[in-house]
A = this chain, B = another copy of it.
Amino acid sequence: MSCNWGTELWDQFDNLEKHTSWGIDFLERYTKFVKERADIELSYAKQIRSLSKKYHPKRSREDESRYTWCLSFAATLQQLNELAVQREELAENLNSQIACELTRYTQELKTERKTHFQDGRRAQQHIESSWKQLESSKRRFERDCKEAERAQHVSDRIDLDSKTDGEKARQTAQQKQQAAEESRKDYVTSLNQFNQDQHQHYHTLVPVIYQRIQDMEERRIERIGEAMRSSAEAERKVLPVVRRCLDAMMDAAESIQPRKVTFLWASVLSVLVEVW
């Protein structure tokens, strides 16, 4: 087992954090794009509407309602106003049904993402502290072994010279031996605990968190696809109405009758001619 495994895992979590953060950035960028698109549509609609209003006859003059070309222009302006209404509806759809929903969803996603990385960090901290516990038990056991060995050595040498000192050294060696035994047991416990923690970390905790992050990513991407489809669909829905408006403009243009108009005007003249 490499000593830098913790760093590698940590790097991996960092990569995941970067990747998911980039995903959220993209979501926010796309939302901003949809909003700006809606603003453009709204400003276009506003211009079209005020153009229609500007050229619409102030009041229905008898003069104007008598001529087919005046009536046709008025009909064209009315259809233009209808086009503005359509663009306004598109802007409204893009804003409320797409951008607002995406903003709300992004907030949810940020919260969910935070939870997953908090869980990840908690798991990471737990395995790290388990590793530290194991390292410290190991060091204590190694130290206690050395001390017990040294005490045994001292006891073995003193035993040959003096009985009283020998008894004391034997007791010390025995105590050190016991302490080493305790440290060994402790080390074994820590090792078992760590092995268990490590197994759980790699086979349960981390895979579950990864799976959740992966699910979250899939949902995010599905959601982006859905938003893109809805945007295109919102705009496609406008087309048949635009088509109808343009057909109505064409009908209005075709209903202009130059001869009918001048006949009317000529009849006015003939009345005046009779006066002479």
Contact = CB atoms under 8 A, between A and B. Distances in A.
Contacts of A48: 40
Given A55-B29, A269-B12, A269-B210, A254 B239 contact: no
A247 to B, nearest CB: 8
B228 A258 contact: no
A21 to B, nearest CB: 13
A173 to B, nearest CB: 42
Contacts of A30: 73
A96 to B, nearest CB: 19
B8 A258 contact: no
Contacts of A160: none
Q: Which residue among A73, A253, A273 has the maximum number of chain B CB atoms within 10 Å of its CB?
A: A253
Interface string A169-206: 00000000000000000000000000000000010000
A256 B243 contact: no
B217 A229 contact: no
Interface in A241-261: 242-243, 246-247, 249-250, 252-254, 256, 258-259, 261
10 contacts: A2-B276, A8-B275, A19-B265, A26-B69, A36-B51, A224-B256, A225-B254, A228-B252, A232-B250, A236-B247
Interface of A: 2, 5, 8-9, 12, 15-16, 19, 22, 26, 29-30, 33, 36-37, 40, 43-44, 47-48, 51, 54-55, 63, 68-70, 72-73, 76, 202, 210, 214, 217-219, 221-222, 224-225, 228-229, 231-233, 235-236, 239, 242-243, 246-247, 249-250, 252-254, 256, 258-259, 261-262, 265-266, 269, 272-273, 275-276
